[in-house]
Amino acid sequence: APCPQWPYCRKRCSYCNFNKYVVPAVDEAAVRAGLVRETRTLLRLSQVQSITSVFFGGGTPSLASPRTVAAVLEAVAGAAHLSAGAEVTLEANPSSAGTPRLAGFKAAGVNRLSVGVQSLDDAELRLLGREHTAAEARRAVEAARGLFPGRTSLNLLFGLPGQSREAWARGLEAALGLCDDHVSLYQLTLERGTALAAQVWGGALPAPTQDILADMYQTARAMLVAAGFRHYEVSNFARKVGCPPCWAHGRFVPRGEGGCSREARVQTLEPDAWMQEVQSRGHGTRRQVVLSPLEQLEEALALGLRTDEGITHERWGQLSPHLSLEAVFGAPGEAKDLQQQGWLVLDGGGLRCTGEGLALLDSLLPGLLCQLQRR
C-alpha cells in the first residue's frame, strides 16, 4: 500500500514527536511534485501490478489541498492498476476537516477518513495541545460521516496524565454515541523531547500506573465488543466490515532493479532535503537494509500477533517452508507457558493472542522472539 506523507502541521501537540514541521508557508506545488515523482519511482522499482489501498498520513494530510491528493492518486493509477474497490484513506484533524474541504477530498478519490479526535473533553484537549475543541471534533465527525458513511474512523487517546478510569469510560461512551463503524485506541506514550513528557517527568503532572492503563484498555475492549465491534488488531475495532491485516508495513522488494530480497527503507525526514533527493534521484530513500530470513520471520510474528487472526500456518509457511509454527512454538518453552496461562493459542488456525493476551502483547513478544531465535 503506498503511504504518501504530508509532514506539515499548523502547531505541535504537546505529546507528539512524529516527523512533522510547523513552517510559515508551504510550497505545496513543490511538495506535490515530489510526492508524485516518488510515487512513480517506487511503484516502478517495486513492479507492483495492482494497488488495493492507499493511505495519506502525516503530519496533517488534511492540510494538503484536494488537488495534491488527486495528483498522487493519478500517479498511482498511472504506474499500477488502482482497483475500483481500493481503499483510499486520509488522516484528518478536526480543525482542517470542514465539509467543503472533505467534499474536495472525496472528489479527489478519498473514500475513507480517519479523524484525529483524540478526546471529547476540552480540558484533555488543552492538555494535549490540540488545536480543536470537543465541539469542533463532533462537527468534523458528523461532516465526515455525511460524506463517508460507514467509512469514518475515530482515533482516541487514553492514559493521559491525571486521567481516571471513570473519565476514560465516560469519554469512550460519548465517542460511541458519535462514531461510525471503526475506532482506533492508542495509549499515550510519553516521548522524550515533548512538552508533556517534560511536565510528567518533572513532577508537574501525574503519570497513570500500569494497572490503571491495563484496566482502561480492558474496559474499552469490553465496551466496544458489547457495542458490536470486532477487536481485529491491538489498537483497532470495527463492525460490519472485514479488516484483513496489512503485511506491507513499509517494506519493499526492488524487483525493478533485479532485487528479490525484502528491504527496510529509511526515508529522508526533513522536507526540503527530501525534495532535493527526489528531484535528483526520483525518491527520498536515505538507507536500504536487506532483511534476513530470521528478521522476516520476527517481523511476521510481531505484526501477525497484533491481529485477532494471528499468524496463520499458510502465512508462516510462505516465509518458513522447512520449519512449521508447531515445530517452533508447539515445543515446551515460552509459547507453551503462555498458552497454559490463557494468553496465547496455537491450533489449526495458527498462532494468535487471546483477547486478554492482546493487551499484554508487548510483554509477550520478547520471550516468543527468543524462542524463535533458538530454533
Q: Is 140 helix (H, G, I), strand (E, B) or coil?
A: helix
| pLDDT tens per residue, range 20-34 | 899 989 999 999 999
200 neighbors 161 (Cβ within 8 angstroms) = yes
> What share of the chain in percent tops pLDDT 90?
77
- Whole-angstrom distance, CA of residue 78 vs CA of residue 327: 45
Indicate the CATH number for domain 5-238.
3.80.30.20
Instruction: Determine whether 99 is exposed, middle or buried from the number of CB atoms within 10 Å of its CB (0-12, 13-18, 19+).
Output: middle
What is the average pLDDT score of the chain? 91
* Residue-range domain boundaries for the chain: 5-238, 293-374
190 neighbors 200 (Cβ within 8 angstroms) = yes
- Whole-angstrom distance, CA of residue 269 vs CA of residue 232: 31
pLDDT at site 18 = 85
pTM for the full model?
Answer: 0.88
- Helix, strand, coil proportions of the chain in percent (round to 5)? 45, 20, 35
Neighbours of 229 (CB within 10 A): 21
Q: What is the dihedral of CA 192, 196, 202, 204, to 10 degrees?
A: -170
- Whole-angstrom distance, CA of residue 231 vs CA of residue 228: 10
| pLDDT tens per residue, range 103-160 | 999 999 999 999 999 999 999 999 999 999 999 999 999 999 999 999 999 999 999 9
- Whole-angstrom distance, CA of residue 237 vs CA of residue 308: 10
Domains 5-238 and 293-374 are alike in CATH topology: no
CA proximity to 307, closest of 249, 253, 251, 261: 249
Q: Is 138 helix (H, G, I), strand (E, B) or coil?
A: helix
pLDDT at site 253 = 60
- Whole-angstrom distance, CA of residue 20 vs CA of residue 8: 5
Q: Which amino acid is at 233?
A: E
Going by pLDDT thresholds of 50, 70 and 90, the confidence category of residue 219 is very high
Strand partners, 307: 233
Concatenated DSSP letters for 67-98? HHHHHHHHHHHHHSEEEEEEEEEEEE-GGG--
| pLDDT tens per residue, range 241-254 | 654 434 334 555 66
> What share of the chain in percent tops pLDDT 70?
93
- Whole-angstrom distance, CA of residue 112 vs CA of residue 105: 10
Classify residue 197 by its DSSP letter. Answer: H
175 neighbors 117 (Cβ within 8 angstroms) = yes
pLDDT at site 288 = 72
Pick the CATH number of 293-374 from 1.10.10, 2.60.120, 1.10.3470, 2.40.160: 1.10.10
Q: How far is CA 206 from CA 15, 17, 162, 198, 217, in A?
A: 15, 20, 6, 11, 19
- Whole-angstrom distance, CA of residue 149 vs CA of residue 145: 5
